[in-house]
Structure 1
Amino acid sequence: MRKSDAIWKELKHHLPFTLVLSLLAGVLVAVFYLIGSVPSRELFEVLHPAHVLVSAVATSAIYWKYKKSVVGGRWSVVGGEATKAILVGVSGAVLIGSLSDVLFPFLAGQLFSLETIFHLPLVEEPGLILGVALFGAVVGMYWDLFRVSHSLHVFLSVFASLFYLLAFSVEMSAVAVLLISGLVFLVVYIPCCISDIVFPLFFINEPCEGCGHWH
């Protein structure tokens, strides 16, 4: 199987789960909105680092698993596969996590005239964001947690994106939250799958020795 075919297969496989979760998140947040106030900013400040953490786990896990199967997982302080796995995990989690949780919701807010304020935790709290990404990338190499971390990654990213819009935009109605949850699906599905699946596989040049397929 070619790399492009494997990537397309993975994207189709994860589409239903992400769509259902995005709509479910929109319904839950809308219900909370109806019954009382939601501490959107506080929740975002917790969910975003958690999202970066599990994203780093998933990204480094899939890179390490298949790179190790090809080259034997050579360890060295500088330039070895362990170092590369950590760099891939950290960079993928931080950059793409910032896109899905901050930049894309910000652009969506501007598109719908929500007067959304730009707030990037990577700039305001770089130690926290880079620290959790580094920890997650190391964890991803030691435990095969890709399936668990990817599902949790999508879950956290959906809520982080919604709460970003709620925290840094003008007040919205419950109906507006439901409508925006459909847009959040695209905001989350594309970056999360790129981060966890496409991004690490771009650094692999050969299929897995065990089955001959890309995953």
Structure 2
Amino acid sequence: MVKQIASELKRHAPFTAFGAVTGIIVMVIIVFGNFLSQISPISQDIFYVLHPTHVFLSALVTTSLYVRYGKRKIWLAVLIGYTGSIGIATLSDSIIPYVGETLLDLPNRGIHIGFIEEPMLTNPVAFLGIAIGYWRPITRFPHAGHVLLSTWASLFHIIMALGQTLSWIQVLAILLFLFLAVWIPCCVSDIVYPVLFTRGRAPMLKEVKPA
């Protein structure tokens, strides 16, 4: 199982890198195109569109995979769906970006935990994803979409922390943190969780067929 998971992490690294690059391109356009003053005031609003969407899709897919290949225990489906979405999306979209902001000493750094700051935005979509995943399992979902949503949510968490200037060294460092923020958490959510909680019966993403 460990070898299988390691293989999947390796397989998903190139696209995760591509997702991180798209985030950097957006950030470079915003910063070096002098759009930061217009984007900064709404960056938190954008984050709180992307982050709950990420939570919803993560809850939907994680729960669906458990229900399709596990024992359909509703309490376990809720536990897996909630921790696999809220927990991992928070790690990906908020905690790892904040670590990067702190290490880079960004001037407006701060940690934004969705289920604490905006519980009425984040928790309902998690439970909606769990409910749909339990009663109408949808196991075919493009991992690419998950990666891009997570990348852009992480990006706007970092944009909230930016000042008016940004060096190319910081750009490269942010690229690394975007990669790490997405690669491990998203792959854990989409790959490791289904394998662990279905005792290996769930296929990897590339093997999943429509329910």
What TM-score results when the alignment is normalised by the length of structure 2? 0.82
Which amino acid in 2 is paired with 1:92? G
Equivalent residue, structure 2, for 1:23: 21
2:84/2:193 contact within 8 Å kept: yes
**Closer/same/farther in 2, CA of residues 87 and 131 from structure 1, 3 Å limit:** same
What is the rounded CA distance, in whole Å, between the counterparts of 2:77 and 2:16 in structure 1? 26
Equivalent residue, structure 1, for 2:12: 14
The farther-off stretch of 183-192 and 21-30 is 21-30
Equivalent residue, structure 1, for 2:43: 40
2:60/2:138 contact within 8 Å kept: no
What is the rounded CA distance, in whole Å, between the counterparts of 2:180 and 2:196 in structure 1? 22
1:105/1:165 contact within 8 Å kept: yes
Q: CA deviation at 1:174?
A: 7.1
Identical positions, percent: 34
**Closer/same/farther in 2, CA of residues 114 and 130 from structure 1, 3 Å limit:** same
- In the alignment, does 2:145 pair up with 1:147? no
Equivalent residue, structure 1, for 2:79: 87
Q: CA deviation at 1:206?
A: 4.9
Query: What stretches of structure 1 of length at least 5 have no aligned partner?
Result: 74-80
- In the alignment, does 2:117 pair up with 1:114? no
Q: Which has the higher contact order (CA 8 A, sep 6+)?
A: 1
Q: Secondary structure at the match of 1:11?
A: helix
1:30/1:178 contact within 8 Å kept: no
What is the rounded CA distance, in whole Å, between the counterparts of 2:49 and 2:195 in structure 1? 29
What is the rounded CA distance, in whole Å, between the counterparts of 2:140 and 2:12 in structure 1? 13
What is the rounded CA distance, in whole Å, between the counterparts of 1:66 and 1:5 in structure 2? 21
1:41/1:163 contact within 8 Å kept: yes
**Closer/same/farther in 2, CA of residues 118 and 25 from structure 1, 3 Å limit:** closer
What is the rounded CA distance, in whole Å, between the counterparts of 1:186 and 1:171 in structure 2? 25
What is the rounded CA distance, in whole Å, between the counterparts of 2:64 and 2:164 in structure 1? 39
Q: How many residues align?
A: 197
- The CA RMSD over aligned residues, in Å, is 2.4
Mapping for residues 129-208 of structure 1, pairs under 5 Å: 129-141=122-134, 142-148=136-142, 150-173=143-166, 175=168, 176-177=170-171, 179-207=173-201
**Closer/same/farther in 2, CA of residues 172 and 105 from structure 1, 3 Å limit:** farther
1:54 aligned residue (41, 57, 72): 57
1:62/1:146 contact within 8 Å kept: no
Q: Secondary structure at the match of 1:119?
A: coil
Which amino acid in 1 is paired with 2:199? N
2:115/2:122 contact within 8 Å kept: yes
**Closer/same/farther in 2, CA of residues 24 and 130 from structure 1, 3 Å limit:** same
